[in-house]
Homo-oligomer: A and B are copies of this chain.
Amino acid sequence: MLRAEILAVGSELLTPLRSDTNALYLTGQLLQAGVDVGVRVTVADDPRLLESAFRSALGRADIVIATGGLGPTEDDLTREAAAAALGRGIRRDPAILEALRARFERYGRVMAPVNEKQADLIEGAVMLPNPLGSACGQRVEVDGRMLFLLPGPPHEMEPMFLQQVLPLVHERAQGALLRTRVLRIASMSESDVEQVAAPIYKTFTNPRTTILGAAGQVELHLTAEGPSIEAVSERLDALARALREALPGRIYSEDGGELPEVVAGLLRERGLTLALAESCTGGLLAERLTSVPGASAFLERGYVTYSNRSKVELLGVDPAVLDSAGAVSAEAAAAMAAGARRAAGADVGVAITGIAGPDGGTPEKPVGLVFIAIQGRAGDRVRRVHFLGGRDRVRFQASQAALEMMRRGLLGLDAW
């Protein structure tokens, strides 16, 4: 498989506020063309750093694409640095110079002398015209590797990439296609998934698999290569099937869908209505479910019952339960879910109560302790979980666990 490296040039990209949108764009385009992006580099406008970055890139990639640093100012050093890394000279191209002058005249302006350096071409380079700006691009072939220099502004770079770079990349990649499928799992730790999945995916070299743990879920990224979409899909299907069998009922989506969408889809499919009662998550579960368009089809209402009084008044929780077991207890969670369901006349009631922190924990009920309950037509279940991390993480994981409980309940899968 061909390997590409992307260089984004410009000190302004090395501030906390900016990220390299060009690099993301190119990554996506190259992946689709069957080219793997192994390294992405952002480099300041510094001749020594730039030359070193070009040298490293040319030493390890088949295709190197640099964006930015082709302007007329003293900070624009991409041409010089690339030439130095290649050990080649630079010459001023009379045809480009003429075209530059004509461009300025067209806009009724006189070209400043600084602009002349935009006509500098690396020895042996092919000029890539830029119809939308004054910085032309360059293409250099060396020992079977291709180096492209493209301007930084996305609206100039993108059409140049599509028209003048991508066709050559396709030719070089010779039809190979790359596709990634993402399998998501919400109820297991990264190492537990790895333990089960690794012996399977390691028997496949195509697709390659990456495992990725995030808050409240684990993702398996399967990337396959092949001559056609059908061939690639077949390879992905084969591995996905094997993983599905090894992790029965655990993979909640294979098409990029997030857990709230999956649960919303199940509720809608079955024509069930839902009522929510949230304490420590403070509306996060409702917010995530209503972020799915059309949530009004299933969500009758949600309660954010932060105070004990609201739990009693709105959900009919017995004050004696709150006194004896406490607001953070299996009993309270079950009563909240049942109460929300009853008050709303909904098919399913779901409740979350816990201690999100940072304060409010005790030795018996530490920060991160959460009870989740489901009542009604997705089964009656209560689960006690101890989540790690700060307030946001505890809350997110609690909402995620509630969604996974709903999914399992709706599908009639075992509790876990």
Binding site for B on A (CB under 8 A): 10-12, 14-17, 19-20, 24-25, 27-28, 31, 36-46, 48-49, 52-53, 56, 59-60, 71-75, 107, 112, 114-115, 132, 153, 155, 180, 190-192, 194-195, 198, 202, 210-213, 219, 221, 276, 278, 281-287, 289-291, 293-296, 299-307, 309-310, 314, 344, 357-359, 386, 388-393, 395
Q: How far is the CA of A14 from the CA of B388 in the complex (A)?
A: 28
- Cα A389 to Cα B153 in complex, Å, equals 11
Q: Which B residues lie within 8 Å of A357 (CB)?
A: 293
Contact partner of A303 (CB less than 8 A), chosen from B299, B303, B386, B390, is B303
Of listed A194, A278, A306, A310, residue having the most chain B CB within 10 A: A306
Taking a contact as CB atoms under 8 Å apart, the answer to whether B12 and A16 are in contact is no
A290 neighbours in B (Cβ, 8 Å):
281-284, 304, 306
- Which residues of B are found within 8 Å of A305, using beta-carbon distances? 301
Closest Cβ of chain B to A337, distance in Å, is 15
9 cross-chain CB contacts under 8 A:
A14-B40, A38-B49, A39-B53, A41-B42, A53-B56, A155-B393, A283-B304, A290-B306, A310-B344
CA distance A195 to B293 in the complex (A): 37
A115 to B211, CA, bound (A): 15
Complex-state Cα separation, A386 to B112, whole angstroms: 20
Whether B49 and A60, one on each chain, are in contact in the complex, defined by CB atoms closer than 8 angstroms, is yes
Residues of B within 8 A of A281 (CB): 287, 290
Q: Is the CB of B107 within 8 A of A191?
A: no
Query: Which of B155, B195, B302 has a CB less than 8 Å from the CB of A282?
Result: B302
8 Å CB contact of A293 from B41, B284, B358: B358
Q: Please, which residues of chain B bring their CB within 8 A of the CB of A213?
A: 71, 153
A306/B299 in contact, CB under 8 A? yes
A14-B27, A282-B286 as given contacts; A302 in contact with B306, CB under 8 Å: yes
Chain A interface mostly? mixed
How distant is A20 from chain B, measured CB to nearest CB, in Å? 8
Question: Which residue on chain B has the smallest CB distance to residue A275?
Answer: B310
CA distance A195 to B198 in the complex (A): 57
Closest residue of B by beta carbon distance from A17: B212
> Shortest CB–CB separation between residue A353 and chain B, in angstroms?
12
A286 to B279, CA, bound (A): 11
A56→B61 CA distance, assembly (Å): 15
Is the Cβ of B52 less than 8 Å from the Cβ of A60?
yes
**Chain B residue contacts of A278, Cβ below 8 A:** 283
Question: Which residues from chain B contact A11 at a C-beta distance below 8 Å?
Answer: 210, 221
Q: How far is the CB of A45 from chain B (nearest CB, A)?
A: 7
Asked whether A286 lies within 8 Å of B307 as measured between CB atoms, the reply is no
Looking at the complex, which one of B74, B194, B276 makes contact with A72 (CB distance below 8 Å)? B194
Is A309 touching B304 in the complex (CB atoms < 8 A)? no
Question: Once the chains bind, are B15 and A293 in contact (CB under 8 Å)?
Answer: no
A287's partner among B25, B211, B287 (CB-CB below 8 A) is B287
A210 to B16, CA, bound (A): 12
Is A301 a contact partner of B293 (Cβ separation < 8 A)?
no
Residues of chain B within 8 A of A20, CB atoms compared: 19
Given A72-B191, A291-B395, residue A38 in contact with residue B43 (CB < 8 A): yes
